[in-house]
Amino acid sequence: MRGGGLRLTVAVLALAALVLGMPLLKPLFAALYPALERPLYEGDSFLALTADHLALVGASSLTAVVAGIVAGILVTRPAGAEFRGVVEAVATMGQTFPPVAVLALAVPAMGFGPVPALIALTLYALLPIVENTVAGLEGVPDAVLESARGLGMRPFEILWRVELPLAAPVILAGVRTAVVINVGTAAIASTVGVKTLGLPIIIGLNGANQAYVIQGAAVVAALALVLDLGFERLTAMVSRWRRA
Amino acid sequence: MIAFEGVTKRFGPWVAVDDVSFTVEDGAFCVLIGPSGSGKSTLLKTVNRLVVPDAGSIRVDGEDIAALAPEELRRRMGYVIQSVGLFPHWTVERNIATVPALLGWPKARVRDRVTELMELLHLDPERFRNAFPHQLSGGQQQRVGVARALAAEPRILLMDEPFSALDPITRGTLQAELATIHRQTGTTIVFVTHDMDEALKLADRIAVLDHGRLVQYAAPRDILANPAGDFVRDLVGREEWGLKRLAVETAGERARPLNGSVPDGEPLPGDTPLRRALSEMVSRGTDRLAVVDGQGRPAGVLHLSDLVRP
């Protein structure tokens, strides 16, 4: 626990240092790539890019979390069981269909901007969340459910007080996977005109500026690491009773 | 009082419970017994509507339970199952407090009740109140299970093979404690088992089920004295029938009045089962034992020949 907290703190500090201190690294990139006229991406501040990136990841992940958990709950109720196949098929399709292709299809219909990116990222994040919600809820022991019913809990009370808390570590593992993948994938949204940490990467690719690519990619990687460690802490918190 | 009237339950073509009618009196300890698939568990679950019968009715204190909201009904009854089913993410205290919390009892009352129940079931409140179920032994878990079922002072306690998964020593201890709790609280208990020794030890009424039908409903000694057919006779066990019969009668009932000399040796309390008295005779090498009453006063003499009197 304490080790996890320390790792998270270190990672957050490293991310902050990288985002805020990027201009200080200009001499380093100038030395590494002497041929480049502009060795540091200065089109936007990295703080603003990180905030935009996080907003996109946050909005798409939140949509996927709500939709995925609700779908997972519905298909594990007796009344929703028949939709389970359909829901799982949609989620699998969302995952296997490349986000770039979703963007390519959505932009002509909806134009440039954040909406196609939100759709692509949400679809991409859905599968691990739905799958883990179903697995987590199905992992609740029958005896526990029978005693919950036998003691007089209503279906919603059983879901809220028993099933979801017991499934939480498994559900969180799915959310963690989805969010971490989303942090990396969100960079492609800059191909359709959304400001993200993908912007320096794409400009760098087009202009053969490796320094820009490294700068964007380093912050994306640090952000993914911070979120991963954050979810690790959260998982430890919801399953504290196991280690008592 | 629980009155079953023509209760029938089918699962597809399978008739699990077939037109069962009988009445469990207030404060009774009723054991439903039968082999696997006899419908005893299904019948038990019709009482708290975990199973809804296809035909017939169940009345609790005169009220048809089909007219009640299932959750309201269940909160008025305790329920204990073989696999215990404690909530693994809740402490012992919170598990025991499940039904009082659902009923919205004030915190202080819940806490007092939990302490009282933990003492009743011999769980040290200091040590176990904040423990999680996975930190307890199987026997301790089922003690918590029983405490949880009794928490809201139910008039009826339903138990589905609660002690079958425990080792023989723990099972024996919990059986004895349950008998004490039953005597003290006067709770009506309906208890499912497939173990006739357990049934004879605990029940004041035994309902024998076979293929969903009620074969016999009688007091333990009547089941032993007049088994309704070969099925019941087999269930009792032909080989040890005599010993089982001795197990349901007490030394006090068969002892002769004091008349002359009192035999030497430690006297037996009057409520000692005859089976235990026979064992004492064999181990002490005597055919006469002194019997005393509840206050330790001489009450009579038990002779070996008294055991075989019809």
Position B73 scores a pLDDT of 96
Question: 3-class secondary structure for chain B?
Answer: CEEEEEEEEEECCEEEEEEEEEEECCCCEEEEECCCCCCHHHHHHHHCCCCCCCEEEEEECCEEHHHCCHHHHHHCEEEEECCCCCCCCCCHHHHHCHHHHHCCCCHHHHHHHHHHHHHHCCCCHHHHCCCCHHHCCHHHHHHHHHHHHHCCCCCEEEEECCCCCCCHHHHHHHHHHHHHHHHHHCCEEEEEECCHHHHHHHCCEEEEEECCEEEEEECHHHHHHCCCCHHHHHHHCCCCHHHHHHHCCEHHHHCECCCCCCCCCCCEECCCEHHHHHHHHHHHCCCEEEEECCCCCEEEEEEHHHHHCC
* DSSP β-ladder status, B156-160 and B188-193: parallel
pLDDT in tens, A34-79: 999 999 999 899 999 999 999 999 999 999 999 999 999 999 999 9
**Is the dihedral angle over the CA atoms B170, B173, B174, B175 positive or is it negative?**
positive
pTM: 0.87
**Least confident interval from A2-11, B227-236, B281-290:** A2-11
Quick one: pLDDT band at residue A2, thresholds 50, 70, 90?
A: low
Q: How far is B154 from chain A (nearest CA, A)?
A: 11
Position A3 scores a pLDDT of 66
Mean pLDDT, rounded, for B256-278 = 88
ipTM above 0.95, yes or no: no
Rg value, chain B, Cα: 22
pLDDT in tens, A134-191: 999 999 999 999 999 999 999 999 999 999 999 999 999 999 999 999 999 999 999 8
- B54 Cβ contact list (under 8 Å, min separation 6): B8, B9, B10
Residues 88-107 of B with CB under 8 A from A: 88-90, 98-99, 102
Neighbours of B216 (CB within 10 A): 19
Q: For residue A232, is pLDDT > 90? A: yes
Cβ–Cβ under 8 Å, residues A242 and A28: no
How many A×B Cβ pairs under 8 Å? Answer: 68
Q: How far is B79 from chain A (nearest CA, A)?
A: 6
Q: Report CB contact under 8 Å: B88, A241.
A: yes
- B287 Cβ contact list (under 8 Å, min separation 6): B281, B303, B304, B305
Quote the CA–CA distance of A87 and A85 in Å, as a whole number: 6
Q: How far is A140 from chain B (nearest CA, A)?
A: 10
* DSSP β-ladder status, B55-60 and B63-64: antiparallel
Mean pLDDT, all residues of chain A: 92
The string of DSSP codes covering A109-166 is: HH-SSHHHHHHHHHHHHHHHHHHHHHHHHHTS-HHHHHHHHHTT--HHHIIIIIIHHH
Place of tokens 């305790």: B78
State the best of B51, B73, B87, B127 to mutate against chain A, taking most chain A CBs within 10 Å.
B87
Q: Report CB contact under 8 Å: B79, A244.
A: no
User: What is the end-to-end Cα distance of chain A in Å, rounded?
Assistant: 13
**The dihedral formed by the CA atoms of B248, B253, B256 and B257, expressed in degrees to the nearest 10:** 160
Mean pLDDT, rounded, for B56-61 = 96
Q: Report CB contact under 8 Å: B87, A146.
A: no
Neighbours of A61 (CB within 10 A): 25
- A175 Cβ contact list (under 8 Å, min separation 6): A61, A65, A128, A129, A132, A231
Q: For residue B120, is pLDDT > 80? A: yes
Quote the CA–CA distance of B209 and B215 in Å, as a whole number: 6
Q: Report CB contact under 8 Å: B86, A157.
A: no
**In chain B, % of residues over pLDDT 70:** 100
Higher pLDDT, B53 or A120: B53
Of B72, B74, B81, the CB nearest to A143: B81
> Strand, coil or helix: what is A42?
coil
Any CB–CB contact under 8 A between B128 and chain A? Answer: no
The length of chain A, given as a count of residues: 244
Q: Report CB contact under 8 Å: A141, B73.
A: no
Beta-bridged to residue B23, according to DSSP, are: B3
Cβ–Cβ under 8 Å, residues A194 and A114: yes
Closest C-alpha among B116, B142, B144 to residue B130 = B144
Q: How far is B116 from chain A (nearest CA, A)?
A: 20
Quote the CA–CA distance of B146 and B158 in Å, as a whole number: 10
> Tokens in use for B274?
């005859």
Q: Report CB contact under 8 Å: B87, A244.
A: no
Beta-bridged to residue B63, according to DSSP, are: B60
Residues of A in contact with B79 (CB under 8 A): 147, 150-151
Of B71, B72, B81, the CB nearest to A147: B81
Quick one: pLDDT band at residue B5, thresholds 50, 70, 90?
A: very high
Mean pLDDT, rounded, for B101-112 = 96
DSSP A80: G
> Tokens in use for A1?
């626990």
Quick one: pLDDT band at residue A94, thresholds 50, 70, 90?
A: confident
Quote the CA–CA distance of A221 and B233 in Å, as a whole number: 76
pLDDT in tens, A189-202: 998 889 999 999 99
Q: How far is B258 from chain A (nearest CA, A)?
A: 53
Q: How far is B276 from chain A (nearest CA, A)?
A: 37
> Tokens in use for B278?
């026979």
Residues of B in contact with A146 (CB under 8 A): 50, 81, 85
Residues of A in contact with B88 (CB under 8 A): 144, 166, 241
Q: For residue A218, is pLDDT > 60? A: yes
Q: For residue B310, is pLDDT > 80? A: no
Quick one: pLDDT band at residue B218, thresholds 50, 70, 90?
A: very high
Q: For residue B21, is pLDDT > 90? A: yes
Of A142, A147, A152, the CB nearest to B71: A152
Residues 134-153 of A with CB under 8 A from B: 141-153
Q: Report CB contact under 8 Å: A147, B145.
A: yes
Query: Which strand ranges, in their side-by-side order, compose the sheet holding B268-269?
Result: B268-269, B288-292, B298-303
Mean pLDDT, all residues of chain B: 94
